Amino acid sequence: MVAGDRFSDEHGVRINRLGITDPQQLAQAETDSSLLRLQRLNVQGGIPGGRYDHAHLKQVHQKLFEGVYPWAGETRADREFQGHKPTYVTGFKETMTYAPFKEIEPRLNAIGEQLGKENYLKGLSEEKFAERAAYYLDQYNHTHAFRDGNGRTLQATFVQLGKEAGYQVDFARIDPATLNRARDLAMVRPHAPQEAEKNLQALKAMFEQVISPAPGIEAERLRDPSQARPLADLSPQMQAMDARRELVVTGYRVMDIVANMPGAGNYEKGVAVGKGVEATNLNPAAVQTHLAQFQQAAEKIIKHPALQGPDARQDQTDAKRFRAAAEQVQTLAVAKEAEAKTPPPKTHEEAQAVFKQAANHVAQALREHGKELDAARLQEVTCHIERTPFIGGLNRENVGKSIDVADRIPALSSSRQLDELKSAVSVMEKAPTVQERSTASVSRSDNGGIER
């Protein structure tokens, strides 16, 4: 348990309604309460009208855990918890990294929408249902919406999904270790995208053990092939999510390989790769800053004399996968930036808002490249323009120095944020027009009272 994560007290015990301070007692109370609620929810058929999206899963979690936790139904986003988890499912220590908490809602909605395109798996044979259910359970598990209780929430969700597709899903037919192992294997993705189905083989086998055709005419109708829909192409959002997953799982393995290479500076380079991977996972636009570093790390492994031959095949594969994933994330990020590109600001007020957002990103990137002074200069100017949307004198000199340094960093020189920063500066280095000053004055005085 983690202390101080906003779901837990100062001793690392989950905040609960029962006043329990012992973690073992709390775990038992949670199990006793949630299993009864899980059985009741399954009998009731789940959430009426649920669409397997953000709202649906929140309702499931709340119904299962509201007897114990005041935060039942809240996602990790509600209390800003990220977290990582180790696993040894491949025989080596792997890091399972879940979706950024800020993206939980749009990711769950994207998964639910994709599932809807497949008509919620209606009309499928047992084998095909198991295959597609494995895919979606992995997607939901990677999003990992909740601080605790993800496993039972997903069990309830897939019991409902199965019932609505004409199948009985009974997770009691397997031991929890089987489910956990299958889930972890899918998370760490030991196989390359060209063999993606192998990463889900254990989950598919697990579903084949827990599903059976439900009895009755209505269940037969739900399984009728006429209900099936052709496998839909992944939405752009699902593609972007998948690309970043590939970057993260291979990136942490590349980090370990580089950090453990003999030679001065390799440990630090490996750590830097890990930090870049984490930054890109939280914000895909950060790949612009780290792409060259990622490519160099991959090349270092691919060409290293000691990493040739059969024994190093996995290291070579991971390096190539990492490089390809980084380049795909970069391509998708550039396309997204192009779509989101806003017209240049025309007024000082518009430029003020653009400057603040762009400056924060550029300053962060400068710090990541060891340019602390230039980042500090930029942040100081940001504080100034909070008060006055005009850049002159020393502020203009400082922001100019920061921009010059950023221009010399390849990953930053062509970024949208730097372009926006320059655009905002070009407006704010000129004095506001008489009309702008007049409008600003009116805005400040029009506050619901009488100007005095």
Q: Of how many residues is the chain composed?
A: 452
Q: Compute the distance between CA of residue 194 and CA of residue 440 in angstroms, rounded to an integer.
A: 58
Looking at the fold, whether 259 and 401 belong to one and the same domain comes out as no
CB atoms within 10 A of CB 254: 26
Per-residue pLDDT band at 320 (split at 50, 70, 90): very high
Greatest distance between any 2 Cα atoms in the chain: 82
Looking at the fold, whether 178 and 123 belong to one and the same domain comes out as yes
Q: Report which of residues 341 and 452 the model is more confident about.
A: 341
The answer for residues whose C-beta is within 8 angstroms of residue 100's C-beta and 6 or more apart is 82, 281, 282
pLDDT digits (tens, 9 = 90+) for 99-153: 999 999 999 999 999 999 999 999 999 999 999 999 999 999 999 999 999 999 9
Residue 166 lies in a domain: yes
- Examine the fold and report which residue of 340, 359, 387 is the final residue of a domain before the chain moves on: 340
Residue 2 lies in a domain: no
Residue type, 304: H
In which domain, by residue range, is 418 found? 348-439
- Examine the fold and report which residue of 232, 263, 287 is the final residue of a domain before the chain moves on: 232
Residue 358 lies in a domain: yes
Looking at the fold, whether 89 and 219 belong to one and the same domain comes out as yes
For residue 212, the surrounding DSSP H or E stretch is strand 211-213
Residue 3 lies in a domain: no
Contact yes or no for 350/298 (Cβ under 8 A): no
Chain centre distance of CA 241: 7
Looking at the fold, whether 309 and 166 belong to one and the same domain comes out as no
Report the number of distinct structural domains present in the chain: 3
Beta bridge partners of 291: none
Instruction: Report the CATH number that the domain containing residue 88 is assigned in CATH.
Output: 1.10.3290.10
What value does the mean pLDDT of the chain take?
89
Looking at the fold, whether 225 and 201 belong to one and the same domain comes out as yes
Residue 448 pLDDT exceeds 50: no
The answer for residues whose C-beta is within 8 angstroms of residue 78's C-beta and 6 or more apart is 71
Residue 452 lies in a domain: no
| Helix/strand/coil percentages in the chain, nearest 5 | 70, 5, 30
Looking at the fold, whether 39 and 157 belong to one and the same domain comes out as yes
DSSP designation for 166: T
Looking at the fold, whether 57 and 185 belong to one and the same domain comes out as yes
Q: Compute the distance between CA of residue 257 and CA of residue 164 in angstroms, rounded to an integer.
A: 46
Beta bridge partners of 95: 86
Model pLDDT, residue 449: 32
User: What SS3 state is found at 169?
Assistant: strand
Residue 5 lies in a domain: no
Looking at the fold, whether 363 and 279 belong to one and the same domain comes out as no
Looking at the fold, whether 216 and 329 belong to one and the same domain comes out as no
- Examine the fold and report which residue of 173, 206, 232 is the final residue of a domain before the chain moves on: 232
Separation in Å, CA 77 to CA 7, 73, 82, 146: 11, 11, 8, 8
Looking at the fold, whether 317 and 206 belong to one and the same domain comes out as no
Residue 164 lies in a domain: yes
Model pLDDT, residue 390: 84
For residue 110, the surrounding DSSP H or E stretch is helix 104-117
Share of the chain above pLDDT 70, in %: 92
Beta bridge partners of 1: none
Per-residue pLDDT band at 442 (split at 50, 70, 90): very low
Residue in the structure block whose two tokens are 């058929």? 45
Encoded tokens for 36: 């009864």
Looking at the fold, whether 197 and 80 belong to one and the same domain comes out as yes
Per-residue pLDDT band at 2 (split at 50, 70, 90): low
Residue 435 pLDDT exceeds 80: no
For residue 97, the surrounding DSSP H or E stretch is strand 94-97
Complete DSSP assignment for 62-95: HHHHTTT-TTTT--GGGGT---EEEE-TTSS-EE
Residue 308 lies in a domain: yes
